[in-house]
Amino acid sequence: MLQFILTNPVLMKEVSMAYKVAVIMSLYRGDRLTFVKEALESLYMQSYPVDIFVQQDGPIDAAVEVLVDDALINGKIHYLGKRGKNRGLAYSLNELIEQVQEQRYRYIARMDADDISLPDRIAKQVAFLESNQEVDVAGGYIEEFSDEVDYHKIVQYPLKHDEMFRFFAKRVPLAHVSVMYRDRFFEKAGLYPTTSPTNEDTLMWMEGFRNGCRFANIPEVLVRVRISKAFFGRRGGLKKAWSDLKDRLKVIKTLGYNSTAYGYALAVFMVNISPSGIKKFLYKRVR
């Protein structure tokens, strides 16, 4: 049975301070200085100490590069890798995971360079994982917001492993930006698949379920996720929709979901190639 001890701050502190946690973050040319600063500050201010590992995925904004170079020099981040060519998020995360594994961190958390982790996010996840030793990866709810348009939404996910597996027949069962992995997750599932340009998390969850990893979500908002004005339009387009459909069909086949899952996948494909206004309407109300 999953145990939720998040309302006991004393117990959280006793559990959490015993273990090292690495946070992995990738930077690319589209990341903005203000957002990266906010993301890093949210990690510096965690109630639980973390070591930050950053991978520069190809050329990035000059001001952002100065920011992370200074952070490395001043000891605010633990590792900074630089790649001259952009190869995508999966490659960056795999490089970071390999760095972290060499240093034997017990827990590895994800963070995007434009999102904001709530102050007790890491402490809550470590406390949860220490109280639920069978769980290999734990995510949580997210709060989507925008600096550009009037948009705000709390996105909730199923909490228990079996519920999450059933949910995965239609949609991803946890927010990638919110997850914390136990070190053994990657021993079971391997590193991020690099066969998909945009759905590395979907395929990672597939490999996790296929290889016996145990999943859970914490019933609290852990991360504030920034949504841009272009977000809903960017989710469309035939090329992206077709790629998403192929990855979704791979999940359905690999994990043995029934025919209903195929029908839902086709319906999502049709939504993804529809005008952005329709996608935005459905995204707000159905997701």
User: Pick the residue with more confidence: 14 or 196?
Assistant: 196
The answer as to whether 102 is a domain residue is yes
Checking if the pLDDT of 169 tops 90, the result is yes
Tokens 């919110």 appear where? 178
- 10 pLDDT higher than 50: no
Which comes out higher in pLDDT, residue 231 or 45?
Answer: 45
Q: Please name the residues in contact with 8: beta carbons below 8 A apart, sequence gap of 6 or more.
A: none
Answer yes or no: is 85 within a domain: yes
User: How far is the C-alpha of 105 from the C-alpha of 124, rounded, in Å?
Assistant: 17
In a domain, 3, yes or no: no
Instruction: Mark whether 213 and 267 lie in a shared domain.
Output: no
Within-domain flag for 257: yes
Q: Print the domain residue range for 247.
A: 231-287
pLDDT in tens, 100-110: 999 999 999 99
Q: pTM of the entire structure? A: 0.88
Average pLDDT of the residues of the chain: 89
- Residue 136's pLDDT is 98
- 3-class secondary structure, 263: helix
Residue 133 located in a structural domain: yes
b/e string for 105-116 if b means 16 or more Cβ within 10 A?
bbbbbbbbbbbb
pLDDT value for 278: 63
pLDDT of residue 213: 98
Q: Are residues 217 and 242 in the same domain?
A: no
Percent of the chain with pLDDT over 90: 75
**What type of residue is 195?**
T
Convert the pLDDT of each residue in 130-143 to its tens digit.
999 999 999 999 99
Residues 239 and 220 in one domain: no
Task: Out of 188, 206, 229, pick the residue that ends a domain.
Answer: 229
With a cut of 70, say whether residue 276 has pLDDT above it: no
Compute the average pLDDT of residues 278-285: 59
Mean pLDDT in residue range 113-128? 97
Identify the residue whose tokens are 């952070």: 71
Number of domains, the chain? 2
- Give a yes or no: residue 136 inside a domain: yes
Query: What local confidence, expressed as pLDDT, does residue 141 receive?
Result: 98
pLDDT at 74: 96
Residues 223 and 246 in one domain: no
Residue 218 pLDDT: 98
H and E: helices and strands count for the chain: 12, 9
The CA-to-CA distance between both ends of the chain, in Å, stands at 27
Given a cut of 80, whether residue 18 has pLDDT beyond it is no
3-state DSSP call for residue 145? Answer: strand
Q: What is the pLDDT of residue 19?
A: 87
pLDDT of 229 higher than 70: no
Kindly report, residue by residue over 34-82, the tens digit of the pLDDT: 999 999 999 999 999 999 999 999 999 999 999 999 999 999 999 999 9
**Domain holding 134: CATH number?**
3.90.550.10
**265, 215: one domain:** no
Q: Which of 207, 229, 251 is the last residue of a domain?
A: 229
pLDDT reported for residue 269: 85
Asked if 157 and 278 sit in the same domain, the reply is no
